[in-house]
Structure 1
């Protein structure tokens, strides 16, 4: 028996919206501690890692660890049948589930749907916990705005960190530009910028992936960028009281245009 009821159904819809253009078919893993998902994008440049803790659900029960393979496209079709005010419950009573049930509840209406599951040959990648030399916390809407603006100039964005802040820069055929964001200790969390830099980094990334990742900004008003030189960048959105969505992106190597 597996049952997971979201306090806020629209949150689940936002999560699916955030990853739909990165991954197509995924294994949803459920156990006694919550729900997780790990999947590479088709080009094997980016990794999506979702963790939702059981304490964050309105109701959660999982008697046996389950792996549920599903199509993100088909999942989204089911979720389009729900309203933004609906409570969403995922449920299956099968030990080897072939379908996943969805219940959408509003004040005057209950809708029920079944999604056919898939058998996917995907391994859990076991992403290790890593100590990063630069960790930057900044408003997610500011990060989105910077990526959108600089992406008009070049396909790659450089990132440079220091104890004073973070700099984003581009150099392309039409010219070059940079945006520096300084640390601040604003009392408003959504405006605060914090830079924990043991060693500065200077890396370059494909802006196309940043723009895809930024669809997750609806999940949190802050984004956490964790970096070490020549290592994948981690872009993390904390999902309040539930868990997190982490997006890993490999840096571009020897990209002269971004230097």
Structure 2
């Protein structure tokens, strides 16, 4: 059982994934509530993991020592929050998982959403991402989430892939199609006296690195923009880009995106 206060954060999580996938695995553990899913395409599979920490969830308890993976249609959950409950910041939602359904207890009503395949096995981390935690990343970039979303949207109009390159204190986003070449370069900037992180780009470079990503996967990761003011890009050479949104001290959303063959290498 867990109590979300305010319930609006769960609505934002649903908004971030409802147009991307239908089935999400809910996993209640001692650490908190995990939501995981795979987004497959011709260019590989993107692995998405979201976590709401148990410290943030009121009256949270996991009645089982092992995790309880459950596969459900996220649109069923989103529709519950899309009704007459407009003041999500003032609503306490009690969510319990029993016998294959979710129960949402609002101040004035109780709503239910059926689970699917409640006895389904856990969703395993794809092999290509399983060892990332043990690998050394070559660069990490923290930047405004809206800026990253804008870059992905603009470059995505030109071609299907974008190359992200980090060198010293510079990160470049580049794509091209026939005679059209588009590039966005961001230099490292420090937080000004006002402490406005929305204007800040922080770059940590261990070694120069370039990754080429499918635009569809990049746009997928920007679905979580409403969850955080900033996003962090971690580049693992020849492997993957991890796009992370920290939701304050509440939890996080992580998108693991596969590296593509770099057709822009000669540009």
- With the length of structure 2 as denominator, give the TM-score of the two structures: 0.86
Provide the residue aligned with 1:209 in structure 2: 217
1:139-185 C-alpha deviation (Å, 9 max, x unpaired): 00110111111112222111110121211111113511111111111
1:43-62 C-alpha deviation (Å, 9 max, x unpaired): 35211111221001233122
Provide the residue aligned with 1:220 in structure 2: 228
Is this contact kept in 1: 2:211–2:240, CA < 8 A? no
Q: CA deviation at 1:134?
A: 0.6
1:13 pairs with one of 11, 18, 23: 11
Q: Are residues 1:89 and 2:94 paired? A: yes
- Structure 1 residues 215 and 258 mapped into 2: Cα distance closer, same or farther (>3 Å)? farther
Provide the residue aligned with 2:146 in structure 1: 141
Structure 1 ranges of 4+ moved more than 4 A: 256-259
- Structure 1 residues 182 and 60 mapped into 2: Cα distance closer, same or farther (>3 Å)? same
RMSD: 2.0
Distance in 2 (alpha carbons) for counterparts of 1:258 and 1:244: 36
Any unmatched runs of 5+ in structure 1? none
Distance in 1 (alpha carbons) for counterparts of 2:184 and 2:71: 41
1:79-228 maps to which residues of 2 (within 5 A)?
79-81=81-83, 82-83=85-86, 84-85=88-89, 86-92=91-97, 94=98, 97-105=99-107, 110-119=108-117, 120-125=120-125, 127-128=130-131, 129=133, 130-173=135-178, 175-186=180-191, 187-228=195-236
Q: CA deviation at 1:33?
A: 2.2
Distance in 1 (alpha carbons) for counterparts of 2:58 and 2:16: 22
For these two proteins, the number of residue pairs brought into alignment is 250
Provide the residue aligned with 1:62 in structure 2: 62
Any unmatched runs of 5+ in structure 2? none
Is this contact kept in 2: 1:233–1:251, CA < 8 A? yes
- With the length of structure 1 as denominator, give the TM-score of the two structures: 0.89
Provide the residue aligned with 2:263 in structure 1: 255
1:166-206 C-alpha deviation (Å, 9 max, x unpaired): 11111113511111111111122222211111011112111
